């Protein structure tokens, strides 16, 4: 009997304060939907970034000049900036490391290029990268059509290119792009390969779809106003040997760069899995913020009727 009376009283209270009840229900619903939406967005972003980092290879590390990317700080103070790794140093490092691990060398040429062919042209946001024979494998890019660079093309710096799907679709929509010629950076290049579609990359960069890959020596010989910055990525199939290889790589690069005994390294190594750990920490903080925000929305008082 008391239970029925309590139920009747609850309904009477709801009926007498209908507006407040509706507003309260709406606030709680909005808070829950906001929480679900934010957490779903965070999971989607994390999944996208995790897949991107995974494509770079978990058992690998990148090597850059210390301070050159403004990431080297000590106690909140910017550390000393060292010269960028040049082409000769990158090649010497790769040769001295030998077969211990796989080394890929690349150089970013430009990210704002217009590619033309037969009266058609792409948007002026195609990126041109010069890479060696290991670039595609280390970056986990697959060919949909055509082939990769031949040893001769890499050695002589031939004007050949591997393009992404967006370039192919805009310039050769109804035919194969293989063996066709395109123009960019004031020169003519023959397409020998087409990459598989990758979808949008981080920040809407287009991933490999807007990529034009040319041989490393070809990129180094292009006219430019400043020296290229070469990126070195070292990968191994055995994760247990990664720390050992990083030690070897450090010794080799110190010798190549001429770092004197007792002097700090003029370069830094960053493992790919360290970026994943940073991503996990960031996503955890975002989740806490989302929970706090949603709880405040749910607890917000409704206006009286």
- The whole domain housing 33 covers 2-53+276-299
Q: 10-14, 112-116, 146-150, 270-274: lowest mean pLDDT where?
A: 10-14
How is residue 196 written in tokens? 């598989």
Count the domains in the chain.
2
Please indicate, yes or no, whether residues 136 and 206 belong to a single structural domain of this protein.
yes
Please indicate, yes or no, whether residues 187 and 293 belong to a single structural domain of this protein.
no
Please indicate, yes or no, whether residues 223 and 281 belong to a single structural domain of this protein.
no
Give yes or no for residue 69 having a pLDDT over 80. Answer: no
Interval 191-205 mean pLDDT: 73
Residue 99 domain-assigned?
no
Helices 18-55, 2-16: axis angle to 10 degrees equals 90
Residue 151 domain-assigned?
yes
**Residue 245 banded pLDDT, cuts 50, 70, 90:** very high
pTM of the model: 0.67
Report the Cα 221 to chain-centroid distance in Å: 26
Residue 82 domain-assigned?
no
Residue 131 domain-assigned?
yes
Residue 30 domain-assigned?
yes
Please indicate, yes or no, whether residues 199 and 115 belong to a single structural domain of this protein.
yes
Please indicate, yes or no, whether residues 203 and 125 belong to a single structural domain of this protein.
yes
Interval 133-151 mean pLDDT: 93
Interval 71-83 mean pLDDT: 62
Residue 244 domain-assigned?
no
The CB density around residue 209, as the number of other CB atoms within 10 Å, is: 21
Judge whether 65 and 266 are in contact, CB under 8 Å.
yes
Residue with the bigger pLDDT between 83 and 78: it is 83
Residue 78's pLDDT is what? 58
Please indicate, yes or no, whether residues 113 and 214 belong to a single structural domain of this protein.
yes
Please indicate, yes or no, whether residues 120 and 178 belong to a single structural domain of this protein.
yes
Residue 283 domain-assigned?
yes
Residue 175 domain-assigned?
yes
Please indicate, yes or no, whether residues 223 and 109 belong to a single structural domain of this protein.
yes
Please indicate, yes or no, whether residues 128 and 216 belong to a single structural domain of this protein.
yes
């Amino acid at each position: 009997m008391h239970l029925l009376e309590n139920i009747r009283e609850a309904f009477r209270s709801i009926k007498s304060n209908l507006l407040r009840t509706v507003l309260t229900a709406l606030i709680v619903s909005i808070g829950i939907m906001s929480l679900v939406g934010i957490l779903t967005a965070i999971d989607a972003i994390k999944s996208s970034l995790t897949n991107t980092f995974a494509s770079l290879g978990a058992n690998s590390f990148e090597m850059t000049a210390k301070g050159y990317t403004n990431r080297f700080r000590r106690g909140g103070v910017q550390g000393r900036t060292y010269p960028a790794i040049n082409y000769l140093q990158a090649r010497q490092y790769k040769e001295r490391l030998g077969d211990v691990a796989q080394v890929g060398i690349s150089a970013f040429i430009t990210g704002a290029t217009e590619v033309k062919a037969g009266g058609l042209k792409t948007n002026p946001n195609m990126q041109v990268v010069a890479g060696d024979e290991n670039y595609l494998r280390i970056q986990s890019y697959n060919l949909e059509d055509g082939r990769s660079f031949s040893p001769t093309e890499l050695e002589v710096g031939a004007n050949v290119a591997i393009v992404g799907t967006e370039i192919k679709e805009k310039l050769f929509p109804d035919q194969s792009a293989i063996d066709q010629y395109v123009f960019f950076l004031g020169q003519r290049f023959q397409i020998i390969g087409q990459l598989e579609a990758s979808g949008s990359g981080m920040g809407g960069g287009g991933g490999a779809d807007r990529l034009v890959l040319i041989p490393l020596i070809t990129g180094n010989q292009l006219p430019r106003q400043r020296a290229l910055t070469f990126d070195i990525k070292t990968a191994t199939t055995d994760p247990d040997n990664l720390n050992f290889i990083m030690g070897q790589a450090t010794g080799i690069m110190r010798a190549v760069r001429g770092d004197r005994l007792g002097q700090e390294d003029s370069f830094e190594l960053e493992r790919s899995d360290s970026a994943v750990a940073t991503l996990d920490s960031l996503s955890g903080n975002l989740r806490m913020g989302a929970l706090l925000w949603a709880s405040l929305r749910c607890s917000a008082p409704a206006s009286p009727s």
